[in-house]
Amino acid sequence: MSKSAADRIIDHLGPALAPQQRKRFRTDTVLIVDGTLVPTRGHYIAEQSKNYQYSTNHQVVIDADTRLVVAVGRPLPGNRNDRKAWELSGAKVAVGRATVTADGGYRGTGLVIPHRREPGQVGPPAWKEEHNRSHCKVRARIEHAFARMKTWKILRDCRLKGDGVHHAMLGIACLHNLTLAG
């Protein structure tokens, strides 16, 4: 098969393999969001990020109970912080009014984030420490999801152009869900 034939097939099947985003979630659903950097060679959307590579920032949302990917935001330049990427990528719109937990990089977004030490305070109270510990245990699930998704070589060095980076991320999210669903 020629490269051009394979490219046409991927362009045709890529959007069909992508997970469909839900319109609504149950009221007791807890979601977890975090951003991950995908190194890309196409410099039209990628920017140099903190690791000195050209990469794109993808916001990924998973269900805390099932650990399935429920939404993937549009790729943004890798030098965008998570707080800004959360709103610009479309991930915020995709989750609607569901309860979403995140790390400390999402301050001011209305998401559930860990407690911080107040100015002039030696350390946070014991109840805040306990809450931060449980928050960390729940949030570790998305880091495990990223580790599983990045076992695919395409997310370690993406050479696709155009919407290829986004379709690759959606396809890997679908494969991740199929692996977990068994």
Domain count along the chain = 1
Task: Tell whether 156 is covered by a domain.
Answer: yes
The arithmetic mean of pLDDT across residues 134-140, rounded, is 90
Task: Tell whether 158 is covered by a domain.
Answer: yes
- Give the model confidence (pLDDT) of 150-167 as tens digits: 988 888 878 777 778 888
Task: Tell whether 3 is covered by a domain.
Answer: no
Range(s) of the domain holding residue 154: 25-181
CATH code for the domain of 65: 3.30.420
The per-residue pLDDT for 20 is 58
**3-class SS letters over the chain:** CCHHHHHHHHHHHHHHHCCCCCCCCCCCCEEEEEEEEEEECCCCCCEECCCCCEEEEEEEEEECCCCCEEEECCCEECCCCHHHHHHHCCHHHHHCCCEEECCHHHCCCCCECCCCCCCCCCCCCHHHHHHHHHHHHHHHHHHHHHHHHCCCHHHCCECCCCCHHHHHHHHHHHHHHHHHHC
Task: Tell whether 150 is covered by a domain.
Answer: yes
Task: Tell whether 55 is covered by a domain.
Answer: yes
The arithmetic mean of pLDDT across residues 48-70, rounded, is 87
